[in-house]
Amino acid sequence: MAEIVRDKTGRVLFTKQMREEGYTILAPNMLPVHFKLFAKAFQQAGYNVVPLTSSGREIVNEGLHDVHNDTCYPALLVIGQLINALKSGKYDLNKVALMITQTGGGCRASNYIHLLRKALKKTGFEDIPVISLNLSGMEKNPGFSLTLPLVKQLIYSIVYGDLLMMLANQTRPYENNPGDSDAAVDRWADKLVKEYQDSKNVTYKKVQENIEKILCDFDQIPITPDPDKIKVGIVGEIFVKYAPLGNNNLEAFLQSEGVEVVVPGLMDFVIFKVDNRKVDPDLYGGGFLKHSIASWFEDYLIGWERDLHAAIARHPRYHAGMTFDQIKELVKGYVGYGNKMGEGWLLTAEMLELIHTGTPNIVCTQPFGCLPNHVAGKGMIRLIKENNPTANIVAIDYDPGATAINQENRIKLMIANAKRMQKLSKQNDQPNK
């Protein structure tokens, strides 16, 4: 067992010896396909990262026990999930570490790591190291670093994950043989994980080849198009937008209601976070170097997004939505670019993107305790509806006391309204007899 080393503040460090001994690094799981690829990328870099898949009310109860119940709902969930895993008996507590993200901004998500350490001390796990995953230079550990090859592989994983998520959502409601889309996702996720074992498969050319192969594979799935099918988009705080644990399996519920689910990809959020660093010097002052590095990185990410959109455009069955530049332009007149806490202006922009690309029906997921998202999400709905009369948006609160049945009933009302509006639109389009 590696020696426990603390810094001058008392923080337990993740050391090189811990990495060499293959410590299991537990991490919350937000996007199943993406995180499966992320985990493999970390493993290739020498970190035994394991995304957690546990769910159930015991996760919420653990979070309520270990974290002040006035904090953000996602904090309750991820901390509850991590502590629950430590108590499960599945892991060697002498060779385990935890990983959690830090955005580095004013959102309370930057402080989840401190809440987690407080919870670890409360539950008797204070000697377990916690790794901060961030791009802001916060909380460095001698045994962990984000190298350029690892960052590149993580970006490739976002590209693959966004593509597979989009293709499955656009194919699943119309497939002739139920399960074909999910099988294709699983098949490709497994294939990509195996490919990651060889560095020659982690190249720009290989990713481009795989993107085309994935699109062609999904093109072969037999479908019966239905132009009358209702589309429902999901936006909100990043964890409750994506994680089944956070939104009570929202995507599965919507699919059971017979609608096509539209979920913006993770890449726009990553670009948004980098873009914040680029615009900071313009808005608040700052150094040229910070602006230059952020600009270069943003251009690199936007280049990947454009490549992905170009590939999708070659397959008429699918549509990719807007690019980051387009949605950034779209949000002008609604909220300023200085609104960047949490999902900031991107949340407003994603609602506008969905409306402008044919998905006016939207579920805005709002976690308890998330003030930035109540401002940029629920707080912008009235203005969005005033400027876009077809917008049909429902804000759903997710918190420890909310019941799934109440959430689902409100969503059902939104879907019923969508069907009513569609029927009226068809009647108005019919020529007078």
Q: What is the pLDDT of residues 267-282, one digit of tens each?
A: 999 999 999 888 877 7
**What pLDDT score does 240 carry?**
94
**Cα 372 from Cα 374, distance rounded (Å):** 6
Separation of alpha carbons 365 and 234, rounded Å: 7
pLDDT above 90: residue 222: yes
Q: Which residue has the higher pLDDT, 369 or 316?
A: 316
* Cβ atoms of residues 273 and 135 within 8 Å: yes
The pLDDT mean for the chain works out to 92
Q: What is the arithmetic mean of pLDDT over 203-227?
A: 97
Q: How much is the pLDDT for 162?
A: 97
Q: Sheet harboring 231-236: ordered strands across?
A: 260-262, 231-236, 361-367, 392-398
- Packing angle, helices 148-171 and 266-284, rounded to 10: 130
Element (H, E) at 306: helix 288-313
The pLDDT score that the predictor gives to residue 134 is 82
Of the two residues 266 and 106, the one the predictor is more confident about is: 266
User: Which pLDDT score, from 0 to 100, does residue 292 have?
Assistant: 87
Would you give the DSSP letter of residue 49?
E
232, 362 contact by CB (below 8 A) = yes
Cβ atoms of residues 140 and 100 within 8 Å = no
Query: What pairs with residue 141 in β-bridges?
Result: 144
**pLDDT at 108 exceeding the cut of 70:** no
What is the reported pLDDT for 349? 97
The amino acid present at 309, given as its one-letter code, is H
**Confidence band, pLDDT 50/70/90 cuts, at residue 104:** low
Give me the pLDDT at residue 432, please. 56
The answer to whether the beta carbons of residues 398 and 367 sit under 8 Å apart is: yes
How many C-beta atoms surround the C-beta of residue 400 within 10 A?
Answer: 15
Instruction: Report the alpha-carbon distance of residue 101 to residue 115 in Å, rounded.
Output: 13
Q: Contact at 8 Å (CB) between 53 and 90?
A: no
Distances (CA, A) of 181 to 163, 175, 198, 317, 365: 12, 8, 27, 14, 25
Chain segment 327-375, per-residue pLDDT in tens? 999 999 999 998 888 899 999 999 999 999 999 999 999 998 788 888 8
Please give the Cα distance from 201 to 307 (Å, whole number): 18
pLDDT digits (tens, 9 = 90+) for 149-193: 999 999 999 999 999 999 999 999 999 999 999 999 999 999 999
Which helix H or strand E contains 60, and what residues bound it?
helix 57-66
* pLDDT attached to residue 433: 47
Evaluate whether 252 touches 404 at the Cβ level (below 8 Å). no
* Interatomic CA distance for residues 12 and 352, integer angstroms: 44
